[in-house]
Amino acid sequence: MSTKTPILLVVDLQQLIVDRPPKTWGTRSTPNLTTTVPKILSAFRANNLPVIHVQHQSINPSHPLHASQTANVAPHPCAAPLEGEPVIVKLTGSAFVNTNLVEILENSGGKEKNRLVIIGVDGAECINSTTRSAADLGWEVQVVPEACASYEVGDRRGEGGEIIEAEVVHKVVMGILVGYAKLVGVEELLGELSGKTEKL
């Protein structure tokens, strides 16, 4: 049971990443992602708990997630930041690398007083990397699989590589993260935030 204050870390819930073309980038797991995320955001905001948004950008001018591609990098409507909520831009998989995330977290009381609740995409990449970085830094971490999504992996160019379905990838990734974080269900988390269940 944790008595630490939860801080919500919303990772890479951006237009192109959430709604990327399946024929180009593969299918996405977690079909209810965009209806689940607002429930969690609303619960954190209703309880005046910290929410931090992380957005991914590429330094490659021709990349669809370059800063110049404003429609692509924009927040997805399911996770649009409110005024006053920090927005961090990262250029790598982990939200902790070459960003001011640690500074923001320390200003909120640090890991001695807080724990991280992580949601977003992509499970196999940035959720995985950010969660493991947080654990390595000594943070207590919770991941909400129903509010995260992963994408199919494999060769989509017809060269014979096996394509692994998105839901399979998601299950495997979440299973791996058990070694670094506690996996919590949406209802369990919402119940805690509303005071209906004991602290996680």
- What pLDDT is stored for residue 21 in this prediction? 73
Domain that holds residue 17: 8-193
- The answer to whether position 63 is within a domain reads yes
- The answer to whether position 27 is within a domain reads yes
Q: Which pLDDT tens digit goes with each residue over 59-88?
A: 878 776 666 667 667 899 999 999 999 999
- The answer to whether position 1 is within a domain reads no
- The answer to whether position 167 is within a domain reads yes
- Say how many Å lie between the first and final Cα of the chain, rounded: 5
- The answer to whether position 200 is within a domain reads no
DSSP string of 140-194, one letter each residue? -EEEEEEEEE-B-BS--SSSSPPPBPHHHHHHHHHHHHTTTSEE--HHHHHHHHT
- The answer to whether position 70 is within a domain reads yes
- What pLDDT is stored for residue 156 in this prediction? 59
- Number of domain units in the chain: 1
Length, in residues, of the chain: 200
- The answer to whether position 3 is within a domain reads no
- What pLDDT is stored for residue 190 in this prediction? 95
- The answer to whether position 57 is within a domain reads yes
C-beta atoms surrounding 197 within 10 Å: 13
Q: Which pLDDT tens digit goes with each residue over 136-146?
A: 999 999 999 99
Q: What is the CATH number of the domain that holds 24?
A: 3.40.50.850
Is the pLDDT at 33 greater than 70? The verdict is yes
Mean pLDDT of 158-171: 84
Is the pLDDT at 39 greater than 50? The verdict is yes
